[in-house]
Amino acid sequence: MTRTPSSHPPVVLVLRALGLGDLLAGVPALRGVRRAFPGHRTVLALPPGLAEPALATGAVDAVFPAEAPGRAVPSLTHWTGPPPDVAIDLHGNGPESRDALAAVHPRRLLAHAGPDGPPWQARLHERDRWCAFLHAYGIPADPLDLRLPRPATPSPAPGAVVVHPGAASGSRRWPGERFAAVVRCLRAAGHPVVLTGGPGEDALVRSVAERSGQRARDVLTGGLPYAELSALVAEASLVLSGDTGLAHLAVAHGTRSVTLFGPVSPHLWGPPASPAHLALWKPGPPGDPHGRTPDARLLRIGSGEVAAACLTLLRPAGSGSRPAGPEVAHVH
């Protein structure tokens, strides 16, 4: 097919219309796409609320608003530009996401469910899976290419321990009273702590604050604007959270982190190998990552072991033992 001359560069349209953690886990693949198509304009289809973090990755040129309830595949029929030169499905492995991209009539479509698509590798880590998917199409991508640039916005609490008790689903939400116990322990050890929560999590954050005696000025409710949240995490001494987007943001900024896993293994969604990150997890059969009640494996993690993990990472270099080997600490 002969391309019609145009003053506009050809477009690569990528679909990954999920949450913040999904976006950040997809950064290595997105950077691989951008390097593979240097003369193209890379457009990422995702929920409009994630436009700012998507552009902050430096991996895409523009965003295209696309969202659906839950984690459903959004329609892309409101696309008004010329058909994309290439469309890439980084959203899922089924025909729904493939068909959503096919509806905009790209010249070439890369998808697991496409006729030339590679098999889905369910047991790979999320970052590795999508990089392997691109490799199958001859596109190099490095799963460790995930760091974000330092934000220009000042942090509202530089050097503090950031404790984020919320999560998108109840199955990944460790009990608030246990977070409060850890906050009390960290403050007793002399570490400043700030509590954060996303939209709709104010009641949970205030409950943890009340149980832990946290000062009102150190409670950041309502969901910070992304630039401020990114700066807070980038300048934190440690981030403690469940398996949620803030944990991925800590990894992206190289900030020390302790992450609590329950229904999903850290082998699939956890941080890369680094002594700066500890993932606490009780092995067992996988649970429902979108369930309403805390996962049984998550509830087996005690506040004492979480506090110990945090204090271990916060210990100054040279003051004693630090975690050795892989970053994923399976606490039994």
DSSP assignment string, 148-160: -PPPSSPPSSTTP
The whole-number pLDDT of residue 210 equals: 97
* Alpha carbon 162 to its chain's center: 16
C-alpha dihedral, 188 to 194 to 200 to 201, nearest 10°: -10
The whole-number pLDDT of residue 166 equals: 96
The whole-number pLDDT of residue 4 equals: 46
CA count, 13 A, side-chain hemisphere, 81: 17
Q: CA-CA distances (angstroms) from residue 137 to 83, 108, 122?
A: 21, 12, 18
> What is the 8-class DSSP label of residue 67?
-
Of 274, 224, 313, whose CA–CA distance to 20 is shortest? 224
The whole-number pLDDT of residue 324 equals: 37
Q: In what order do the strands lie in the sheet with 62-65?
A: 62-65, 41-46, 11-15, 86-89, 108-110
Report pTM: 0.92
- Alpha carbons 24 and 145: distance in angstroms, whole number: 11
The whole-number pLDDT of residue 8 equals: 84
| List of the chain residues with pLDDT < 70 | 1-7, 317-332
Cα Dmax for the chain: 69
Q: CA-CA distances (angstroms) from residue 110 to 1, 97, 222, 226?
A: 18, 11, 38, 31
Q: CA-CA distances (angstroms) from residue 55 to 6, 101, 324?
A: 25, 21, 35
